[in-house]
Chain A
Amino acid sequence: MLRIKEYIRPQSLEEAYQLCQKKGNVVLGGMLWLKMQNRSVNTAIDLQDLGLDKIEENDEEYRIGAMVTLRQLEQHAGLERLTHGAMAEAVRHIVGVQFRNLATIGGSIYGRFGFSDVLTLFMAMGAKVELYNGGVMSVEAFTHLPREIRDILVAVIVPKDVKRAAYQSQRNASTDFPVLTCAVCETDEGVTCAVGARPALAVCVKGLPADAPEETAETVTEQLQFGSSLRAGEEYRRRICRVLVRRALEAMNAQEV
């Protein structure tokens, strides 16, 4: 059970940042993950008054505020076009509509969950995070930061140079956590493939060719490490990886640039 002594809605990012420096205080995203924890919180910091619930765009990029929900990502026409449907495919299996109306992109990326569908896709797209204090860095670099950092994730930035993209995941049962996630994305620099739920955190392999999906799937699988968990064994994940990478590349190759 989550016990909270005080609840605050800061009126500026600076105020939110200062509050989150204190051990025992916690930033709320959609609160779905936090709520599963058994802990005591001094101050719960709710970012709802800071206007971080919008998806904005310019010629080069989409800027997704930290409080944008997974449902907003799923229904956004621009992201749908940019990712050829991969955005909606990555989130549509996550529990249900009511859940996705609450879960945020900020909490999903900041949590750096191994199983994350969301992290896998944003990593493959070369997305960046904007931290209030830590500045802008790639999602990939962010996953290597120590977990102890206390910062505010302000926005996630998606470059518009995505030409084609596809998403695949495998679940033991519908709406369960995935046993493997896979996203492929083509830009001018070639194809990037991210694989998550290994069960460890997503990692990506860059500079892949778009053709020869069978061989490329083999190459990616050989480079990655897999493990066993309650949901699937190491060898099962390795085999599934070959299949998902191949299917994702085939789906991407069928798209028009």
Chain B
Amino acid sequence: MEIKLNLNGRAVTASAAPDTMLIDFLREQGCLSVKRGYETSNCGLCTVMMDGKPILSCSTLAARADGHEVYTLEGLQAEAEEFASFVANQGADQCGFCNPGFVMNTIALLRENPDPTDDEIRAFLSGNLCRCSGYESQLRGIRAYLDSRK
């Protein structure tokens, strides 16, 4: 079937099988920031924005994105760069595999709540698993970024 969507600000038309998942469709479109983790809807590695909301691309049919707007990290580089170095400075990027999903969801958090408390950050990012950092360095990185803006 034919799928038309707005991907990272440009119109894309491509064909996909009815059961192609959005993650596979996006990777075929060259969006390799979208990572596959456990694929049980639990880890958040595959997070992308659909119509401005963070969703799991491993659990969404590509067909459902027809007519919608999808952003991956490739399309949100500038917004990500604002805080990514603060996170890196705290050593939160270790193997780095969870990083794109984590950055996408952090962008969603900061758009919705530009000045979150630590508990609000933890709650919003609870669907982003990381097996290296223990989460404290990620939290410190976001906090350092928020403090730098004050």
Contacts and interface: CB of A to CB of B under 8 A. Distances in A.
Interface string A27-49: 01011100110000000101010
B63 interface: yes
Interface stretch (A3-11, A115-123, A210-218, A243-251): A3-11
Interface in B105-136: 105, 108-109, 123-128
B127 A7 contact: no
Interface in B24-55: 40-42, 44, 47, 53-55
Contacts of B63: 7, 44, 46
Contacts of A6: 18
Interface in A166-204: 174-175
A97 interface: yes
Contact of B55 (A7, A35, A98): A98
B64 A96 contact: no
A119 to B, nearest CB: 19
Contacts of A3: 19
Nearest to B50: A101
A97 B112 CA distance: 12
Contact of B61 (A4, A71, A95, A174): A4
Given A3-B19, A102-B55, A97 B124 contact: yes
B64 A48 contact: yes
Interface residues of A, number: 26
B19 A32 contact: no
A101 B54 contact: yes
Contact of A98 (B18, B40, B44, B61): B44
A99 B55 CA distance: 6
A175 B44 CA distance: 13
B108 A97 contact: yes
B54 A98 contact: yes
A219 to B, nearest CB: 34
Contact of B56 (A71, A92, A98, A175): A98
B78 interface: no
B137 interface: no
Interface string B59-76: 111011000000000000
Given A97-B105, A98-B127, A175-B126, A7 B61 contact: yes
A99 B56 contact: yes
A32 B59 contact: yes
Contacts of B123: 92
Contacts of A30: 59
Contact of B41 (A92, A95, A174): A95
Contacts of A71: 53
Residue among B18, B41, B61 having the largest count of chain A Cβ atoms under 10 Å:
B41
B1 interface: yes
A44 B55 contact: no
B56 A102 contact: yes
Contacts of A7: 1, 18-19, 61, 63
A149 interface: no
A46 B64 contact: yes
A24 to B, nearest CB: 14
Nearest to A40: B19
Interface in A88-130: 92, 95-99, 101-102
Interface in A50-104: 71, 92, 95-99, 101-102
B41 A101 contact: no
Interface of B: 1, 18-19, 40-42, 44, 47, 53-56, 59-61, 63-64, 105, 108-109, 123-128
The 8 closest A-B pairs by CB, nearest first: A96-B127, A4-B19, A7-B18, A7-B63, A98-B54, A4-B18, A101-B53, A98-B56
